[in-house]
């Protein structure tokens, strides 16, 4: 466990450890080789002990070839043809008899001047015999087990180990400048940055900063990015883990991980802990069928850790979710995630700013009007806009241009909305005609009603995402409220496609299914959510369960009321359908004229379309 802790601690550190470790192994291998070689040498030239009297008698028999005097022994070799030929022999040394022996050797012409190589010192031999093998085994062990560890890391056997990925970045490199269009969110996070810069300033006055802030908003609005930017601005380490990373198959594992995470973070304070998608562990504990012991334990541990740590040290916990309503109340109470930072869909200016941020990374023509792109993308989030810029750049490359031009961007917007153009889908002339009338039907109803958004583009070029053609309307300004009249007119526009088919061909096609679905849900929400009918007045009949994920509305009314809701919805739709048919019948000539133009040109832009409607075109 201890080794593992270190590993997940900090990437840089881990790398360093690994390198050192490799060096140890290389050393061990080399030293082993050397020792073996030396040993080899000694083994090959067997050393044998001879008693001193025997040595003397050998000297007298003239069998000695060479003698070397050491400090405590005499080493010698014998001549060829004797009993111990080619062997190194030694015998003990007697200090008093040394001079006599040397005289004797002189007399017989046996050389003895060569010094004996110093014997290995006891310290060295101790190191070679004891310490070195110990280190070698340690190194070998670590090496092998390290490998095993990695192999088993993802398996069931790895329980007890923290395999959750805790990303520790010492600096994220992201700053608030990289996050555009979230001014309010940034404002409330600036305080946290300041706190991380200088926790003492707050501690001295006795001000307690929130331990945690919860970033809430639809997917792709930049919650993860904002958390990174806080760390980047404060220049502190950033521990990030995804909520799902805590939940494991064994009960208690997640809790251990939470403990681990907080321990690591506290060592590195000041720092930021970021728990992404916290709803994975933070789900409300009651109401769940059967319960989930593991998740509950993990959550409990998280609550305990949040209460336990000393925030004055400068540890701030950020978490992100797009389902704040499912979070356990205990997580949200003061002292835990008491601060909520809303990261909502960007408005027009926000979208333009986001586009600017991402446009910095690509070569873009000076003539490009990013404001126009922002206008054509109501409801888009940061991730969509980043994607649009990238798609545009890809298209520029495809058309072998060196810069992104406006056309690339508008095409990219449509690719994101409706999919890629599918020019090879060939419609029969009859079908094409039907599609043209259908689309012009939408456009004409939109143009002739007052509470609708202007038509931006009509096209009958098929797209990969199923549309055979489409009509694009763009709001002339950002809207935050929609009136009852506007909603009703929107439904008329949605039903205008089918109405045109009926007026022109007196028949129906399957092409209106998507329109029908949208019109029905709009009409239904007028009845159930917005209180726009006389019958139900301001009674709330449905509530939206997760507003950031476009979740299904939850009904809260009786079965009888349900059928009454259906009746009301139906009557709205019938009214709208009738209105659309009336408008198109009255303007049948115009409908035919524009449809013929569309069949010929395949795409008509909004201003051109309005000219024909107003009779300002030249023919």
- List of residues contacting Mg ion (CB under 5 A): 224
| 542, 553 contact by CB (below 8 A) | yes
The residue (of 215 and 472) whose beta carbon lies closer to Mg ion is 215
497, interface contact from Mg ion, ligand ADP, Zn ion, none, CB < 5-8 Å by kind: Zn ion
Sole binder of ligand ADP in the list 78, 91, 221, 264 (CB under 6 A) = 221
Residue 315: CB partners within 8 Å, gap ≥ 6? 265, 266, 269, 270, 271, 272, 273, 309
Task: Tokens for 423, please give them.
Answer: 């020019």
Q: Which of 338, 161, 314 is nearest to 250 (CA)?
A: 161
The residue (of 346 and 441) whose beta carbon lies closer to ligand ADP is 346
Sole binder of ligand ADP in the list 210, 220, 237, 497 (CB under 6 A) = 220
The residue (of 124 and 340) whose beta carbon lies closer to Mg ion is 340
- Taking the complex as a whole, the smallest distance from the CB of residue 612 to ligand ADP amounts, in Å, to 39
- Taking the complex as a whole, the smallest distance from the CB of residue 344 to Mg ion amounts, in Å, to 15
Which residues are paired to 457 by β-bridges? 472, 605
357, interface contact from Zn ion, Mg ion, ligand ADP, none, CB < 5-8 Å by kind: ligand ADP
- Taking the complex as a whole, the smallest distance from the CB of residue 226 to ligand ADP amounts, in Å, to 7
The residue (of 75 and 319) whose beta carbon lies closer to ligand ADP is 319
* 369 class by beta-carbon count within 10 Å (0-12 exposed, 13-18 middle, 19+ buried): exposed
| 247, 280 contact by CB (below 8 A) | yes
Q: Which of 283, 307, 306 is nearest to 294 (CA)?
A: 283
- Taking the complex as a whole, the smallest distance from the CB of residue 599 to Mg ion amounts, in Å, to 45
383, interface contact from Mg ion, Zn ion, ligand ADP, none, CB < 5-8 Å by kind: ligand ADP
Which residues are paired to 318 by β-bridges? 213, 274
Single out the segment in contact with ligand ADP by CB under 6 A; choices: 6-14, 154-162, 214-222, 301-309: 214-222
319, interface contact from Zn ion, Mg ion, ligand ADP, none, CB < 5-8 Å by kind: none
Single out the segment in contact with ligand ADP by CB under 6 A; choices: 25-33, 382-390, 505-513, 589-597: 382-390
| 32, 129 contact by CB (below 8 A) | no
The residue (of 176 and 470) whose beta carbon lies closer to ligand ADP is 176
Q: Based on the shown chain and the rule CB under 5 A, indicate whether residue 497 belongs to the binding site for Zn ion.
A: yes
The beta-carbon contacts of 198-203 under 8 Å, at least 24 apart in sequence, are 199/270, 199/312, 199/313, 199/314, 202/312, 203/312
Active-site residue among 233, 439, 501, 568? Answer: 439
Sole binder of ligand ADP in the list 199, 210, 222, 237 (CB under 6 A) = 222
219, interface contact from Mg ion, ligand ADP, Zn ion, none, CB < 5-8 Å by kind: ligand ADP
Q: How far apart are CA 426 and CA 437, in angstroms?
A: 17
Sole binder of ligand ADP in the list 58, 74, 166, 181 (CB under 6 A) = 181
Using CB atoms, what's the residue nearest to ligand ADP? Answer: 382
| C-alpha of 166 from chain center | 12
Q: How far apart are CA 206 and CA 136, in angstroms?
A: 55
Residue numbers belonging to the annotated binding site for Zn(2+): 438, 442, 515
- Taking the complex as a whole, the smallest distance from the CB of residue 520 to Zn ion amounts, in Å, to 14
Could you tell me how many residues of this chain bind ligand ADP (CB under 6 A)? 17
Using CB atoms, what's the residue nearest to Mg ion? Answer: 224
Q: Based on the shown chain and the rule CB under 6 A, indicate whether residue 299 belongs to the binding site for ligand ADP.
A: no
Residues numbered 504-543 forming contacts with Zn ion, rule: CB under 5 A: 515
Q: How far apart are CA 566 and CA 524, in angstroms?
A: 8
- Neighbour tally for 358: CB within 10 Å: 22
Rounded (5°) CA angle 553-559-565: 60
Q: Based on the shown chain and the rule CB under 5 A, indicate whether residue 462 belongs to the binding site for Zn ion.
A: no
Residue numbers belonging to the annotated binding site: 217-224, 438, 442, 515
Rounded (5°) CA angle 366-371-377: 125
CA-to-CA dists, residue 65 to 52, 131, 499, 612, angstroms: 17, 39, 123, 124
Catalytic annotation on 439?
A: yes
Sole binder of ligand ADP in the list 354, 370, 413, 500 (CB under 6 A) = 354
Q: Based on the shown chain and the rule CB under 6 A, indicate whether residue 404 belongs to the binding site for ligand ADP.
A: no
Residue whose entry in the numeric block shows the structure tokens 């050397």:
34
- Entry field: residues in the chain: 619
Q: Are strands 167-169 and 212-216 parallel, antiparallel or unpaired?
A: unpaired
Task: Tokens for 102, please give them.
Answer: 């040397």
Give, for 291, the enclosing helix (H) or strand (E): none
* Catalytic sites, residue numbers: 439
Give contact residues for Zn ion (rule: CB under 5 A).
497, 515
Instruction: List residues binding ligand ADP (CB under 6 A).
Output: 179-182, 219-225, 320, 354, 357, 382-383, 386
């Amino acid at each position: 466990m201890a080794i593992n802790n270190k590993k997940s601690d900090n990437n840089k550190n881990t790398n360093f450890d690994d390198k050192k470790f490799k060096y140890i192994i290389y050393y061990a291998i080399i030293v082993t080789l050397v020792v073996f070689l030396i040993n080899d040498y000694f083994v090959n030239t067997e050393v044998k002990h001879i008693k001193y009297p025997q040595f003397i008698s050998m000297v007298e028999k003239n069998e000695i070839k060479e003698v070397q005097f050491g400090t405590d022994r005499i080493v010698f070799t014998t001549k060829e043809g004797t009993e111990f030929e080619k062997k190194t022999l030694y015998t003990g040394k007697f200090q008093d008899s040394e001079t006599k022996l040397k005289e004797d050797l002189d007399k017989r012409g046996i050389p003895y001047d060569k010094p004996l190589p110093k014997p290995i010192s006891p310290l060295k031999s101790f190191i070679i015999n004891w310490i070195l093998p110990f280190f070698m085994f340690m190194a070998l062990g670590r090496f092998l087990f390290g490998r095993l560890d990695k192999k088993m890391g993802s398996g069931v056997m790895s329980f007890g180990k923290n395999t959750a990925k805790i990303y520790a970045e010492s600096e994220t490199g992201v700053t608030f400048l990289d996050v555009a269009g979230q001014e309010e969110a940034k404002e409330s996070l600036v305080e946290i940055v300041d706190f991380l810069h200088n926790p003492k300033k707050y501690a001295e006055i006795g001000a307690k900063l929130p331990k945690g802030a919860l970033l809430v908003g639809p997917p792709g609005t930049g919650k993860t990015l904002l958390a990174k930017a806080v760390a980047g601005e404060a220049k502190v380490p950033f521990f990030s883990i995804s909520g799902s990373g805590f939940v494991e198959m064994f009960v208690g594992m997640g809790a251990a991980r939470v403990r681990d995470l907080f321990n690591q973070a506290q060592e590195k304070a000041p720092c930021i802990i970021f728990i992404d998608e916290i709803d994975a562990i933070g789900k409300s504990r009651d109401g769940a069928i059967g319960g989930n012991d593991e998740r509950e334990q993990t959550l409990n541990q998280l609550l305990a850790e949040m209460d336990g740590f000393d925030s004055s040290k400068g540890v701030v916990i950020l978490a992100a979710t797009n389902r704040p309503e499912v979070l356990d109340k205990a997580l949200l109470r003061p002292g835990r995630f008491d601060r909520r930072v809303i990261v909502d869909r960007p408005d027009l200016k926000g979208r333009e700013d986001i586009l600017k941020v991402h446009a910095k990374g690509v070569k873009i023509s000076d003539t490009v009007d990013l404001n126009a792109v922002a206008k054509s993308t109501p409801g888009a989030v940061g991730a969509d806009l980043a994607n649009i810029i990238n798609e545009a750049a890809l298209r520029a490359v495809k058309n072998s241009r060196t810069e992104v031009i406006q056309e690339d961007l508008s095409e990219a917007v449509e690719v994101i909305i409706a999919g890629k153009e599918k020019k090879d889908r060939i419609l029969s002339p009859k079908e094409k005609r039907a599609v043209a009338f259908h689309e012009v039907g939408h456009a004409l109803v939109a143009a002739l009603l007052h509470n609708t958004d202007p038509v931006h583009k009509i096209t009958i070029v098929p797209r990969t995402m199923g549309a055979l053609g489409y009509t694009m309307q763009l709001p002339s300004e950002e809207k935050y409220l929609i009136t009852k009249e506007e909603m009703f007119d929107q439904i008329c526009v949605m039903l205008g496609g089918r109405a045109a088919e009926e007026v022109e061909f007196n028949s129906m096609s399957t092409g209106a299914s998507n329109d029908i679905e949208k019109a029905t849900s709009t009409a239904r929400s007028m009845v159930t959510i917005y209180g726009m009918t006389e019958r139900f007045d301001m009674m709330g009949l449905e509530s939206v369960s997760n507003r950031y994920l476009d979740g299904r509305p939850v009904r809260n009314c009786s079965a009888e009321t349900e059928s009454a809701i259906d009746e009301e919805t139906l009557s709205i739709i019938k009214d709208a359908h009738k209105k659309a048919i009336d408008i198109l019948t009255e303007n049948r000539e115009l409908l035919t004229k524009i449809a013929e133009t569309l069949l010929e040109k395949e795409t008509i832009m909004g201003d051109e379309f309005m000219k024909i409607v107003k009779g300002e075109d030249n023919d």
